[in-house]
């Protein structure tokens, strides 16, 4: 495939805000520039080069414009792009075989959709059809999507000013070790009691129709909160006790991003339903729902229906299969683990200098940096915003959670192809920004 020149290299950066006046707002704060090119670990606004520490929307796992991904897209755009939803194609069959081959027994069958919202919508509907029940439990800082059912299980933001969500949504407290009030006598975090207490409240609120719990192994939009060791196993126990299914949403954690192929692997459980998105398509709209033969069979008997325009489309599935090949071939899971450890170790040196860094947490190339007011440990969204703006000026895009209820957390997830030099470049910009504001 011949690489073409970037089509917007001469695009004017003047009056970027004026140019956006015809756009309907959707909750994002637009950056004060227009991105005209993206390549590898960087995006460009004209001549300005910006290190992309969020992989686009946490999705370009292999970086922007990966040549093998571009070649796969081009080839399938010419020869096998989109089909009638009842037709099969080689990329779909290949991806299903590769993906289930990487997963343990009990995750045996896959379907492929477009977005994470859509995959979680399908997974929750599958759980409802299988169990014959309708109540769904999510964690209090969760983000599972913006559609009806997935949005109903999203508690981090977006619940206000539009009337009631889907019926049957219940909530567990997020296991935030840095902020939870649940403590043992020695002061250590008591997430077991917190979970048991939460389920006591769920049992009290339930009408007796508990269908599923949905959870992320690392709660990215919640502030890169890593579930405690043993958490998913105990959660699965609570589910089994109540006849519920456990849905694990790995939109961001899977395919090596968290330093393992799948985030749930660290917890010694196999979820009843697994959803994937973002990382699987390297920025293309591709998601997956994977479940057991048993659940698939029962769902078929109960006439489970999730028939969409782009279900099992060949072009994105070909990209998904290529992503899996590259991650395994190039040992990128190991790179993710090593570069994530390096990044957090360097940030902890910065934390030793500035007590405004309240907490650093993460797994693999998923890192949260929480900015606080040291005297009260209150989240300092104002300082964090100034730091984020300065980092962007210096050439680093580091996503800041700006939700008022939980602001002040940098949410960082660079491509897992990132080099040591690029990690250290990002660290240097962090250092410089903190030094300018805090001395």
pLDDT digits (tens, 9 = 90+) for 221-273: 999 999 999 999 999 999 999 999 999 999 999 999 999 999 999 999 999 99
Structural domain count, the chain: 2
Residues 284 and 418 in one domain: no
Active site residue 411: yes
Residues 358 and 429 in one domain: yes
pLDDT digits (tens, 9 = 90+) for 36-72: 999 999 999 999 999 999 999 999 999 999 999 999 9
CATH code of residue 92: 3.40.640.10
- The H or E element containing residue 246 is strand 245-250
Residue of 121, 194, 216, 250 marked catalytic = 216
Q: Give a yes or no: residue 7 inside a domain.
A: no
Distance CA 11, CA 416 (A): 30
Q: Give a yes or no: residue 181 inside a domain.
A: yes
In 17-148, the DSSP E strands lie at: 37-39, 42-45, 48-52, 109-113, 135-139
Query: What does DSSP assign to residue 83?
Result: -
Domain boundary residue among 307, 329, 351? 329
Q: What does the pLDDT read at residue 405? A: 57
Residues 83 and 207 in one domain: yes
Residues 72, 62, 64, 384, CA torsion sign: positive
Residues 319 and 362 in one domain: no
Domain that holds residue 54: 47-65+331-438
Active site residue 249: yes
Residue of 121, 190, 249, 313 marked catalytic = 249
pLDDT digits (tens, 9 = 90+) for 336-394: 999 999 999 999 999 999 999 999 999 999 999 999 999 999 999 999 999 999 999 99
- Residue 22 pLDDT > 80: yes
pLDDT digits (tens, 9 = 90+) for 273-286: 999 999 999 999 99
Distance CA 7, CA 16 (A): 18
Residues 6+ positions from 175 with CB-CB distance below 8 Å? 139, 189, 191, 194, 195, 225, 227, 228, 231
Residues 297 and 386 in one domain: no
Residue of 133, 242, 322, 411 marked catalytic = 411
pLDDT digits (tens, 9 = 90+) for 401-439: 766 656 799 999 999 999 999 999 999 999 999 999 997
pTM above 0.75, yes or no: yes
Residues 99, 105, 111, 117, CA torsion sign: negative
Residues 99 and 227 in one domain: yes
Q: Give a yes or no: residue 6 inside a domain.
A: no
Residues 269 and 410 in one domain: no
Residues 270 and 363 in one domain: no
- Site of tokens 């949260």: 368
Residue of 94, 190, 194, 252 marked catalytic = 252
Residue of 94, 143, 190, 250 marked catalytic = 143
Tell me the average pLDDT across 114-137. Answer: 98
CB 323 within 8 A of CB 255: yes
- In the numeric block, which tokens belong to residue 46? 């004209």
Residues 6+ positions from 360 with CB-CB distance below 8 Å? 344, 347, 348, 351, 367, 368, 369, 370
- Other C-beta atoms closer than 10 Å to the C-beta of 178 total 15
Active site residue 252: yes
Domain boundary residue among 267, 298, 329? 329
Domain boundary residue among 329, 344, 366? 329
Q: Give a yes or no: residue 364 inside a domain.
A: yes
pLDDT digits (tens, 9 = 90+) for 140-196: 999 999 999 999 999 988 888 888 888 999 999 999 999 999 999 999 999 999 999
Active site residue 194: no
Q: Give a yes or no: residue 27 inside a domain.
A: no
CATH code of residue 350: 3.90.1150.10
Q: Give a yes or no: residue 8 inside a domain.
A: no
Residues 135 and 238 in one domain: yes
Residues 308 and 201 in one domain: yes
Active site residue 250: no
Residues 115 and 193 in one domain: yes
Q: Which of 220, 269, 204, 273 is nearest to 245 (CA)?
A: 273
């Amino acid at each position: 495939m011949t690489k073409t020149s970037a089509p917007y290299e001469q695009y004017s950066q003047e009056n970027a805000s004026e140019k956006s006046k015809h756009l309907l707002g959707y909750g994002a704060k637009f950056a004060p520039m227009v991105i005209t090119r993206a390549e590898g670990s960087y995006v460009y606004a004209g001549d300005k080069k910006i290190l992309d520490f969020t992989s686009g929307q946490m999705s370009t796992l292999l970086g922007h414009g990966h040549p093998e991904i571009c070649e796969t897209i081009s080839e399938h755009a010419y020869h096998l792009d989109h089909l009638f939803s009842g037709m099969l194609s080689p990329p779909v069959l290949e991806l299903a075989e590769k993906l289930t081959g990487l997963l343990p027994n009990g995750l045996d069958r896959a379907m492929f959709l477009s977005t994470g919202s859509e995959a979680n919508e399908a997974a929750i509907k599958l759980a409802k059809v299988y169990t014959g029940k309708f109540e769904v439990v999510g964690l209090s800082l969760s983000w599972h999507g913006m559609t009806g059912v997935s949005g109903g299980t999203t508690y981090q933001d977006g619940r206000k000013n539009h009337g009631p969500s889907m019926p049957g949504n219940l909530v567990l407290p997020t296991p935030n070790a840095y902020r939870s009030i649940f403590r043992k006598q020695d002061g250590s975090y008591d997430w077991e009691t917190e979970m048991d207490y939460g389920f006591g409240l769920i049992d009290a609120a339930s009408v007796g129709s508990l269908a599923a719990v949905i959870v992320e192994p690392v709660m990215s939009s919640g502030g890169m909160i890593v579930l405690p060791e043993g958490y998913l196993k105990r959660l699965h126990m609570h589910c089994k006790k109540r006849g519920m299914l456990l849905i694990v949403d790995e939109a961001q954690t899977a395919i090596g991003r968290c330093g393992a192929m799948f985030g749930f692997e660290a917890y010694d459980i196999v979820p009843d339903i697994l959803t994937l998105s973002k990382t699987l398509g390297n920025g293309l709209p591709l998601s997956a729902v994977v479940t057991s033969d048993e659940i698939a069979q029962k769902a078929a008997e109960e006439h489970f229906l999730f028939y969409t325009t782009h279900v099992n489309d060949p072009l994105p599935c070909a990209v998904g299969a290529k992503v899996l090949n590259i991650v395994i071939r190039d040992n990128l899971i190991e790179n993710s683990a090593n570069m994530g450890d390096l990044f957090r170790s360097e940030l902890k040196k910065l934390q030793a200098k500035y007590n405004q860094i309240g907490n650093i947490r993460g797994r693999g190339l998923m890192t949260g940096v929480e900015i606080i007011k040291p005297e009260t440990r209150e989240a300092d969204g104002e300082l964090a915003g100034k730091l984020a703006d300065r980092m962007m000026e210096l050439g680093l895009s580091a996503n800041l959670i700006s939700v008022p209820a939980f602001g002040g957390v940098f949410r960082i997830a660079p491509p897992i192809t990132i080099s040591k030099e690029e990690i250290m470049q990002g660290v240097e910009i962090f250092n410089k920004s903190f030094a300018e504001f805090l001395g």
